[in-house]
Structure 1
Amino acid sequence: MRRLPYSVRLLLVVGVLMGVFALGTRQAVFTDEEVTQRTRALTGTAQQQADMEALYHAAIKGGEQQVVMYQAAMDYEWQPLWSRFSQAFPGIRVTYMHLSPTAVTDRLDVEKVTGAHYGDLISQPVNVVMDIADRGYLEGWTPSSSASLEPIWRYKDQVYFTFNKVYGLGYSTRRVGGETLPVDVAQLLDDKWRNSFEYGAPGGGAGTTDVALLQLLTRQRIDLQQLRELRDRGGAGGAQEAGVISLAQGRRALNPWAYLPPLLRQQRLGVPIAIEYPADFTLLVPFGQGLVRQPAHPNAARLLLTWLMTPDAQALLASEAYSLGNLPGAPLPPGLPEEAAHTARVNMLSPQETARGLKEWMPKLRALWQQTL
Structure 2
Amino acid sequence: MRALWSLALAAFWLGSGWAQTLTLYTSEILADVNALVEAFRRDNPGVQVQVFRSGTGEVVAKLRAELEAGNPQPDLIWFANPEVFADLARRNLLRRVPPTVQGYPLRYAYQGGLYYEVRLLYNVVAVNTSRVSTPPQTWADLAKPAYRGLLAMPDPNFSGAALITVGTLAQRLGFAFFERLKANGLAIEQSNPVLQQKLARGEYGLAITTDFGVRQEIAKGAPLAALYPRDGGILVPTPMAVTAWSKNPELASRFLRFLLSPQAQALFAERGYYPVMPGAPKPKGAPEQVLALGGVTADEGTLRRFSELFGLRR
TM-score by length of 2: 0.80
Structure 2 residue 305 is matched with structure 1 residue 370: no
What is the Cα deviation at residue 64 of structure 1?
4.6
The answer on 1:328 being equivalent to 2:281 is: no
Residue in structure 2 matched with residue 50 of structure 1 by the alignment: none
For 2:66 and 2:4, locate their aligned partners in 1 and report how far apart those are by CA, in whole Å: 32
Q: CA deviation at 1:233?
A: 1.0
Amino acid corresponding to residue 184 of structure 1 in structure 2: T
Q: Deviations over 1:308-348 (max 9, x none)?
A: 2223322322223x222333334322322013x2x12xx32
What secondary structure, in the 3-state scheme, does the structure 1 residue paired with 2:282 have?
Answer: coil
Q: Tell me if 1:248 matches 2:171.
A: no
Equivalent pairs counted in the alignment come to: 293
Aligned to 1:47: none
**Pairwise CA RMSD:** 3.0
Structure-2 residue corresponding to 1:16: none
Per-residue deviation, residues 110-149 of structure 1 (Å, max 9, x unmatched): 4x34xxx743111121223223333443222325227733
Map of 1:209 onto structure 2? 162
Structure 2 counterpart of 1:132, one-letter code: L
Aligned counterparts of 2:19 and 2:73: Cα–Cα separation in 1: 12
Do the aligned partners of 2:150 and 2:204 also contact (CA within 8 Å) in 1?
A: yes
Task: Say whether 1:101 aligns with 2:60.
Answer: yes
Q: Deviations over 1:68-101 (max 9, x none)?
A: 2111223112222222112222332432221522
The answer to whether the Cα contact below 8 Å between 1:72 and 1:101 also exists between their aligned partners in 2 is no
1:198 corresponding residue in structure 2: 152
1:138-175 CA deviation, whole Å, 9 max, x = no partner?
A: 22232522773314531353212222233322122331
Deviation at 1:264, TM superposition (A): 2.7
Q: Do the aligned partners of 2:99 and 2:113 also contact (CA within 8 Å) in 1?
A: no
| Contact residue 118 and residue 296 of structure 1 kept, 8 A | no
TM-score, length of structure 1 as denominator length: 0.69
Taking structure 1 as reference, are residues 292 and 84 closer, same or farther at Cα in structure 2, changes over 3 Å only? same
5+ residue gaps in structure 1?
A: 1-34, 40-61
**Contact preservation (8 Å) 1:65, 1:93:** yes
- Asked if structure 1 preserves the Cα contact closer than 8 Å seen for 2:123 and 2:165, the reply is no
CA distance in 2: counterparts of 1:38 and 1:279, whole angstroms: 52
| Structure 2 counterpart of 1:32 | none
Q: Is the 8 A contact 1:167 1:281 kept in 2?
A: no
User: Which amino acid letter does the alignment assign opposite residue 85 of structure 2?
Assistant: V
- 1:90 is aligned, of 22, 29, 45, to 45
Gaps of 5+ in 2: 8-16
Contact 2:167 2:302 in 1 (8 A): no
Query: In the alignment, is residue 172 of structure 1 matched against residue 138 of structure 2?
Result: no
Alignment of 1:26-45 (within 5 A): none
Q: Higher helix fraction: Structure 1 or Structure 2?
A: 1
Give, as a single letter, the amino acid of the residue that structure 1 aligns with 2:25: Y
The DSSP-based 3-state class of the residue aligned with 1:148 is: coil
Question: Are residues 1:284 and 2:222 paired?
Answer: no
SS of the aligned residue for 2:117 comes to strand
Q: For 1:280 and 1:272, how far apart are their aligned partners in 2? A: 24
Which of 186, 189, 210 in structure 1 is aligned with 2:143?
Answer: 189
Query: For residue 74 of structure 2, what is the amino acid of its counterpart?
Result: G
**2:188 paired residue among 237, 240, 244:** 237
Output the CA distance in 2 between the equivalents of 1:244 and 1:323: 16
Q: Is the 8 A contact 2:149 2:185 kept in 1?
A: yes
The one of 246, 257, 260 equivalent to 1:295 is 246
Matched, 1:307 2:258: yes
Cα deviation for residue 249 of structure 1 reads 2.7
| Alignment check: 8 A CA contact 2:77 2:243 kept | yes
